[in-house]
């Protein structure tokens, strides 16, 4: 969480076509439940793909693409949820270090299915 500014803004769009965010988190301390939620899965894997960053003096914007895989233990077995995510980021440079000032998590699509035992 130390990669985020103290007054960071984290906006989640479960439908990237919507102009309205599904969840808004303000402040670094508000991010803890987001990261803690990942421990509810049996396993997670994030494949980060292409990214682009535009630099200014002490700020930057960026976009990065991710396929997030989440394995969950369900009754009667395991399931796999795959989410196609775009991160739209605004960075700031403070005291010689770069931080996330704002992150928009844009979910483009989700696929859920039972997971085999292998």
pTM of the predicted model, to two decimals?
Answer: 0.90
**20 within 8 A of 12, measured Cβ to Cβ:** no
Distance between terminal CA atoms of the chain? 34
Per-residue pLDDT reduced to its tens digit, 66-116: 999 999 998 788 999 999 999 999 999 999 999 999 999 999 999 999 998
Domains in the chain, please, with CATH?
Answer: 4-115 (3.10.450.50)
Tell me the residue ranges of DSSP E strands in 27-96: 43-55, 59-73, 78-94
**Which positions ≥6 away from 77 have C-beta within 8 Å?**
114, 115, 117
Tokens representing residue 3 in the block: 């990669």
**Mean pLDDT of the 52-70 span:** 97
- Report CA torsion sign: 113, 44, 5, 33: positive
């Amino acid at each position: 969480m130390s990669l985020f500014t103290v007054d960071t803004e984290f906006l989640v769009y479960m439908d990237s076509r919507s102009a309205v965010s599904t969840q808004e988190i303000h402040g670094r301390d508000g991010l803890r439940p987001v990261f803690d939620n990942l421990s509810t899965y049996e396993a997670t894997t994030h494949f980060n793909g292409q990214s682009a960053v535009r630099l200014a003096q002490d700020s930057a914007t960026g976009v990065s693409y991710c396929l997030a895989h989440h394995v969950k233990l369900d009754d009667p077995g395991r399931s796999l949820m795959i989410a196609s995510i775009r991160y739209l980021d605004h960075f700031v440079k403070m005291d010689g270090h770069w931080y996330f000032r704002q992150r928009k998590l844009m979910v483009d699509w989700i696929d859920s299915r039972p997971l085999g035992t292998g």
